[in-house]
Amino acid sequence: MAIRFGVNTWVWTAPFNNDAVKLFPKIKKLGFDGVELPVEDPALFDVKKIKDGLDKADLPALSVCGAFGPDRDLSHDDPKVQENCLAYIKVCIDCAAAWGAPVIAGPLYSSVGKARLVPADQKKAEWDRAVANLRKAAKMAGDAGVRLAIEPLNRFEIDLVNVAAQAVKMVKEVGHKALGIHLDTFHMNIEEKDVAEAVETAGAHLYHLHACENDRGAPGSGQVRWKAWAKAVKKVKYDGAVVIESFTPEVTSIAKAAAIWRKLADTQDDLAADGLKFLRKLLRKK
């Protein structure tokens, strides 16, 4: 199967709700193969209404993107927080299955903003809890015919998994085929020594890709080593989705969460369209 190109609705709005269906025809018209749907608060949308909107726009759901705050943390020492996170992941799995999205992506193992220097024994305990709970999550996903992809985040957002090598170690310890890796060029540009080597390290475990610039702008407009990245993506024979994930400063809540203090393109439509044009050319078969 060939790579499909998608865009996250966060490019235009947040949080994801029923009104997001209005974006689907635009996303289709811009030329994307599908859309990534972020599930921040399941109470804000109706699963069937979203599915009907996708079908009406003839726009496939390529992936579901999870949102992991302090009360959604598989590595937490409080069993209730772990259970709450597993329940949330189950909702994401149900949504993905209903929408036909093959992958649920994000930092499923911990909460965003949990960035500390802790003793080695504490980190080991948190790692082990994450692994044990990911086994449960992976089984749920596998039973539903959906895959999970854990995302390394940069050091300012998380402290447990920052690079592809750590993600591979975690995936291997979990040991379930429904669990793989999600790499994001924004985080890779900060943490990895070599973006190509990171993709190759993920290899067959690579289930999902996010593409955005070093400033979260349109791919191709900044400093990411795109040619090396693309060469590695082809080398590992990746055939999943490549999704543009960015944000808008017009939505105050997400601007603060993602530290978006200025416009990254003349319009959000331009960001999406320019990024898509660049990625299609970059990853075209030769």
Residues with catalytic annotation?
151, 245
- Give CA–CA dist 214/198, Å, rounded: 16
- Give CA–CA dist 34/60, Å, rounded: 5
Q: Considering only CA atoms, which of 247, 245, 248 is closest in space to residue 276? A: 245
- Give CA–CA dist 248/266, Å, rounded: 11
- Give CA–CA dist 6/150, Å, rounded: 18
- Give CA–CA dist 268/9, Å, rounded: 11
- Give CA–CA dist 134/117, Å, rounded: 23
**β partners of residue 103:** 147
Give the number of other CB atoms < 10 A from CB of residue 227.
Answer: 11
Question: How many DSSP H helices and E strands does the chain contain?
Answer: 10, 8
Q: Considering only CA atoms, which of 66, 159, 153, 73 is closest in space to residue 110? A: 73
